[in-house]
Amino acid sequence: MAVTNETTLTRNAIVTGSSRGIGAAIATELASLGYNVCLNCSSEARLELLEQFAATLEQTYGIKTLSCVANVADPLSAQKLIDACVAEWGSVDVLVNNAGITKDGLAARMKEEDFDAVIAVNLKGTFNCCKAAASKMMKQRFGRIINMSSVVGVAGNAGQVNYAASKAGVIGITKSLAKELAARNITVNAVAPGFIATDMTDALSDSQKESISERIAAKRFGEACEVAALVGFLASEKAAYITGQVIRIDGGMAL
Protein backbone atom coordinates (compact mmCIF):
# COMPACT_ATOMS: atom_id res chain seq x y z
CA MET A 1 0.00 0.00 0.00
CA ALA A 2 1.40 3.38 -0.97
CA VAL A 3 2.30 5.86 1.75
CA THR A 4 0.71 9.29 1.50
CA ASN A 5 3.06 12.00 0.30
CA GLU A 6 2.94 14.43 3.20
CA THR A 7 4.34 17.31 1.15
CA THR A 8 1.07 17.48 -0.83
CA LEU A 9 -1.29 17.36 2.13
CA THR A 10 -1.83 19.97 4.82
CA ARG A 11 -2.80 18.48 8.16
CA ASN A 12 -4.37 20.29 11.09
CA ALA A 13 -3.13 19.81 14.65
CA ILE A 14 -4.33 20.80 18.11
CA VAL A 15 -1.80 21.12 20.93
CA THR A 16 -3.32 21.72 24.36
CA GLY A 17 -1.32 23.69 26.90
CA SER A 18 0.84 25.16 24.15
CA SER A 19 1.68 28.66 25.43
CA ARG A 20 5.04 27.61 26.89
CA GLY A 21 7.41 24.77 27.71
CA ILE A 22 7.00 21.39 26.05
CA GLY A 23 3.65 22.38 24.52
CA ALA A 24 5.18 25.40 22.77
CA ALA A 25 8.06 23.25 21.52
CA ILE A 26 5.61 20.69 20.12
CA ALA A 27 3.58 23.41 18.39
CA THR A 28 6.80 24.78 16.87
CA GLU A 29 7.87 21.35 15.65
CA LEU A 30 4.52 20.65 14.01
CA ALA A 31 4.48 24.10 12.40
CA SER A 32 7.97 23.47 11.01
CA LEU A 33 6.63 20.26 9.44
CA GLY A 34 3.83 22.18 7.70
CA TYR A 35 0.89 21.52 10.02
CA ASN A 36 -1.66 24.20 10.73
CA VAL A 37 -1.67 24.47 14.52
CA CYS A 38 -4.50 25.26 16.93
CA LEU A 39 -2.87 26.63 20.08
CA ASN A 40 -4.51 26.43 23.48
CA CYS A 41 -4.24 27.98 26.91
CA SER A 42 -6.57 27.62 29.88
CA SER A 43 -7.13 31.27 30.81
CA GLU A 44 -7.75 34.64 29.17
CA ALA A 45 -4.73 35.96 31.06
CA ARG A 46 -2.40 34.01 28.75
CA LEU A 47 -4.28 34.67 25.51
CA GLU A 48 -2.20 37.69 24.43
CA LEU A 49 1.00 35.69 24.90
CA LEU A 50 -0.53 32.81 22.96
CA GLU A 51 -1.51 35.09 20.08
CA GLN A 52 2.00 36.54 19.91
CA PHE A 53 3.40 33.03 19.71
CA ALA A 54 0.87 32.16 17.00
CA ALA A 55 1.94 35.19 14.94
CA THR A 56 5.57 34.10 15.18
CA LEU A 57 4.72 30.60 13.95
CA GLU A 58 2.78 31.98 10.99
CA GLN A 59 5.54 34.37 9.99
CA THR A 60 8.31 31.80 10.42
CA TYR A 61 6.72 28.74 8.86
CA GLY A 62 3.94 30.07 6.61
CA ILE A 63 1.24 27.99 8.27
CA LYS A 64 -2.14 28.93 9.73
CA THR A 65 -2.90 29.11 13.44
CA LEU A 66 -5.80 29.43 15.82
CA SER A 67 -5.53 30.63 19.42
CA CYS A 68 -8.18 29.16 21.71
CA VAL A 69 -8.86 29.57 25.41
CA ALA A 70 -10.27 26.28 26.72
CA ASN A 71 -10.23 24.52 30.06
CA VAL A 72 -9.85 20.90 28.98
CA ALA A 73 -11.10 19.68 32.37
CA ASP A 74 -14.56 20.89 31.29
CA PRO A 75 -16.14 18.59 28.67
CA LEU A 76 -18.02 21.42 26.95
CA SER A 77 -14.89 23.57 26.74
CA ALA A 78 -12.89 20.66 25.34
CA GLN A 79 -15.60 20.01 22.74
CA LYS A 80 -15.57 23.68 21.70
CA LEU A 81 -11.80 23.48 21.20
CA ILE A 82 -12.11 20.54 18.83
CA ASP A 83 -15.09 22.10 17.06
CA ALA A 84 -13.20 25.37 16.52
CA CYS A 85 -10.44 23.57 14.65
CA VAL A 86 -12.89 21.67 12.46
CA ALA A 87 -14.96 24.79 11.76
CA GLU A 88 -11.87 26.73 10.68
CA TRP A 89 -10.02 24.09 8.67
CA GLY A 90 -12.44 21.23 8.04
CA SER A 91 -10.67 18.54 10.06
CA VAL A 92 -8.64 17.74 13.13
CA ASP A 93 -5.89 15.33 12.09
CA VAL A 94 -3.54 15.45 15.07
CA LEU A 95 -4.40 15.91 18.74
CA VAL A 96 -1.61 16.37 21.26
CA ASN A 97 -2.91 16.25 24.84
CA ASN A 98 -0.20 18.21 26.61
CA ALA A 99 -2.13 20.37 29.10
CA GLY A 100 -1.26 19.46 32.66
CA ILE A 101 -0.74 20.79 36.18
CA THR A 102 1.04 19.73 39.34
CA LYS A 103 0.06 20.18 42.98
CA ASP A 104 2.72 18.17 44.77
CA GLY A 105 2.72 17.02 48.37
CA LEU A 106 3.03 13.92 50.51
CA ALA A 107 -0.08 11.75 50.35
CA ALA A 108 -0.73 11.94 54.10
CA ARG A 109 -0.95 15.73 53.89
CA MET A 110 -2.43 16.18 50.43
CA LYS A 111 -5.60 18.24 50.26
CA GLU A 112 -8.52 16.57 48.54
CA GLU A 113 -8.95 19.55 46.23
CA ASP A 114 -5.31 19.27 45.11
CA PHE A 115 -5.76 15.62 44.23
CA ASP A 116 -9.02 16.32 42.39
CA ALA A 117 -7.62 19.30 40.45
CA VAL A 118 -4.69 17.32 39.04
CA ILE A 119 -6.90 14.40 38.07
CA ALA A 120 -9.43 16.77 36.47
CA VAL A 121 -6.91 18.47 34.17
CA ASN A 122 -4.35 15.76 33.47
CA LEU A 123 -6.59 12.69 33.24
CA LYS A 124 -10.17 13.86 32.65
CA GLY A 125 -8.90 16.63 30.37
CA THR A 126 -7.11 14.08 28.22
CA PHE A 127 -10.25 11.95 28.05
CA ASN A 128 -12.45 14.94 27.21
CA CYS A 129 -10.29 15.97 24.26
CA CYS A 130 -9.83 12.39 23.04
CA LYS A 131 -13.58 11.80 23.12
CA ALA A 132 -14.35 15.01 21.22
CA ALA A 133 -11.63 14.45 18.61
CA ALA A 134 -12.22 10.72 18.12
CA SER A 135 -15.70 11.22 16.66
CA LYS A 136 -14.28 13.62 14.07
CA MET A 137 -11.34 11.38 13.26
CA MET A 138 -13.53 8.29 12.88
CA LYS A 139 -15.64 10.03 10.24
CA GLN A 140 -12.57 11.12 8.27
CA ARG A 141 -10.88 7.74 8.85
CA PHE A 142 -7.60 9.29 9.85
CA GLY A 143 -6.08 10.60 13.04
CA ARG A 144 -3.09 10.80 15.32
CA ILE A 145 -3.65 11.15 19.06
CA ILE A 146 -0.55 11.70 21.18
CA ASN A 147 -1.01 11.83 24.93
CA MET A 148 1.64 13.29 27.21
CA SER A 149 2.21 10.95 30.13
CA SER A 150 5.37 10.91 32.30
CA VAL A 151 7.96 8.51 33.68
CA VAL A 152 6.27 9.30 36.98
CA GLY A 153 3.19 7.54 35.60
CA VAL A 154 5.34 4.48 34.93
CA ALA A 155 7.55 4.38 38.02
CA GLY A 156 5.78 6.59 40.60
CA ASN A 157 7.39 9.36 42.63
CA ALA A 158 7.26 10.35 46.28
CA GLY A 159 5.28 13.53 46.81
CA GLN A 160 3.39 13.19 43.52
CA VAL A 161 0.72 10.59 44.15
CA ASN A 162 -1.92 12.71 42.37
CA TYR A 163 0.33 13.47 39.37
CA ALA A 164 1.51 9.85 39.13
CA ALA A 165 -2.06 8.59 39.25
CA SER A 166 -3.14 11.01 36.53
CA LYS A 167 -0.26 10.09 34.21
CA ALA A 168 -0.71 6.36 34.81
CA GLY A 169 -4.35 6.85 33.90
CA VAL A 170 -3.31 8.56 30.67
CA ILE A 171 -1.45 5.37 29.76
CA GLY A 172 -4.64 3.38 30.35
CA ILE A 173 -6.62 5.75 28.13
CA THR A 174 -3.96 5.47 25.43
CA LYS A 175 -3.92 1.69 25.31
CA SER A 176 -7.70 1.36 25.42
CA LEU A 177 -8.34 3.95 22.71
CA ALA A 178 -5.63 2.45 20.52
CA LYS A 179 -7.63 -0.80 20.46
CA GLU A 180 -10.90 1.01 19.79
CA LEU A 181 -9.66 3.23 16.96
CA ALA A 182 -6.97 1.33 15.07
CA ALA A 183 -9.35 -0.06 12.44
CA ARG A 184 -10.24 3.53 11.46
CA ASN A 185 -6.62 4.44 10.68
CA ILE A 186 -6.27 6.32 13.95
CA THR A 187 -3.20 5.78 16.09
CA VAL A 188 -3.03 6.58 19.80
CA ASN A 189 0.31 6.73 21.57
CA ALA A 190 1.73 8.15 24.79
CA VAL A 191 5.00 10.00 25.33
CA ALA A 192 6.49 9.74 28.81
CA PRO A 193 9.14 12.42 29.39
CA GLY A 194 11.57 12.36 32.27
CA PHE A 195 13.19 15.55 33.54
CA ILE A 196 13.01 18.11 30.74
CA ALA A 197 14.53 21.60 30.93
CA THR A 198 11.52 23.94 31.31
CA ASP A 199 10.41 26.84 33.53
CA MET A 200 9.53 24.32 36.24
CA THR A 201 12.97 22.69 36.31
CA ASP A 202 14.65 26.13 36.15
CA ALA A 203 13.20 26.75 39.61
CA LEU A 204 15.27 23.90 41.06
CA SER A 205 18.48 24.73 42.90
CA ASP A 206 21.84 23.77 41.39
CA SER A 207 22.26 21.05 44.02
CA GLN A 208 18.83 19.61 43.19
CA LYS A 209 19.64 19.60 39.48
CA GLU A 210 22.94 17.87 40.14
CA SER A 211 21.31 15.24 42.33
CA ILE A 212 18.64 14.52 39.71
CA SER A 213 21.19 14.36 36.88
CA GLU A 214 23.09 11.67 38.76
CA ARG A 215 19.99 9.46 38.57
CA ILE A 216 19.82 9.82 34.78
CA ALA A 217 21.97 7.54 32.65
CA ALA A 218 22.60 10.36 30.15
CA LYS A 219 23.66 12.64 33.04
CA ARG A 220 21.61 15.58 31.82
CA PHE A 221 18.08 16.92 31.57
CA GLY A 222 16.31 16.53 28.25
CA GLU A 223 15.37 19.42 25.99
CA ALA A 224 11.80 20.30 25.05
CA CYS A 225 12.76 20.15 21.37
CA GLU A 226 13.78 16.50 21.82
CA VAL A 227 10.31 15.64 23.13
CA ALA A 228 8.78 17.65 20.29
CA ALA A 229 10.77 15.73 17.67
CA LEU A 230 9.33 12.46 18.97
CA VAL A 231 5.81 13.87 18.84
CA GLY A 232 6.42 15.07 15.28
CA PHE A 233 7.39 11.56 14.24
CA LEU A 234 4.37 9.96 15.92
CA ALA A 235 2.12 12.46 14.11
CA SER A 236 3.58 11.53 10.73
CA GLU A 237 2.64 8.95 8.12
CA LYS A 238 5.90 7.15 8.93
CA ALA A 239 4.41 6.15 12.30
CA ALA A 240 1.19 4.73 10.83
CA TYR A 241 1.86 1.23 12.23
CA ILE A 242 2.74 2.39 15.75
CA THR A 243 -0.16 2.50 18.17
CA GLY A 244 -0.86 1.79 21.83
CA GLN A 245 2.74 2.46 22.77
CA VAL A 246 4.23 4.34 25.72
CA ILE A 247 7.56 5.79 24.66
CA ARG A 248 9.80 7.02 27.46
CA ILE A 249 12.08 9.94 26.64
CA ASP A 250 14.05 10.19 29.85
CA GLY A 251 17.75 9.71 29.09
CA GLY A 252 17.62 6.28 30.70
CA MET A 253 16.34 7.49 34.08
CA ALA A 254 13.76 4.70 34.43
CA LEU A 255 15.88 1.83 33.21
pLDDT in tens, 233-248: 999 999 999 999 999 9
Whether residue 58 is contained in a domain is answered as: yes
Cα–Cα distances in Å, from 223 out to 26, 34, 67, 150, 229? Answer: 11, 22, 25, 15, 10
For residue 244, the domain's CATH number is 3.40.50.720
Tell me the per-residue pLDDT of 126-159, one tens digit each, with 9 for 90 and over. 999 999 999 999 999 999 999 999 999 999 999 9
Whether residue 190 is contained in a domain is answered as: yes
Whether residue 2 is contained in a domain is answered as: no
Tell me the per-residue pLDDT of 112-123, one tens digit each, with 9 for 90 and over. 999 999 999 999
Residue 3, pLDDT above cutoff 50: no
Whether residue 160 is contained in a domain is answered as: yes
Whether residue 5 is contained in a domain is answered as: no
Q: Examine the residue annotation and report whether 163 is marked as an active-site residue of this protein.
A: yes
Band of the pLDDT at 5, cuts 50, 70, 90?
A: very low
Residue 205, pLDDT above cutoff 60: yes
pLDDT at 203: 74
CA neighbor of 138 nearest in space, from 196, 87, 180: 180
Whether residue 1 is contained in a domain is answered as: no
Cα 172 from Cα 38, distance rounded (Å): 26
Residue 8, pLDDT above cutoff 60: no
Per-chain mean pLDDT for the chain: 94
Tell me which of 35, 61, 163, 241 is the catalytic residue: 163
pLDDT at 51: 97
Give the pLDDT mean for 92-96: 98
Structural domain containing residue 239: 10-249
Cα–Cα distances in Å, from 49 out to 93, 98, 101, 111? Answer: 25, 18, 19, 31
Whether residue 3 is contained in a domain is answered as: no
pLDDT at 208: 82
Whether residue 66 is contained in a domain is answered as: yes
pLDDT above 90: percentage of residues in the chain:
89
Contact 81, 40 (CB under 8 A): yes
Q: Look at the chain and report how many structural domains it folds into.
A: 1
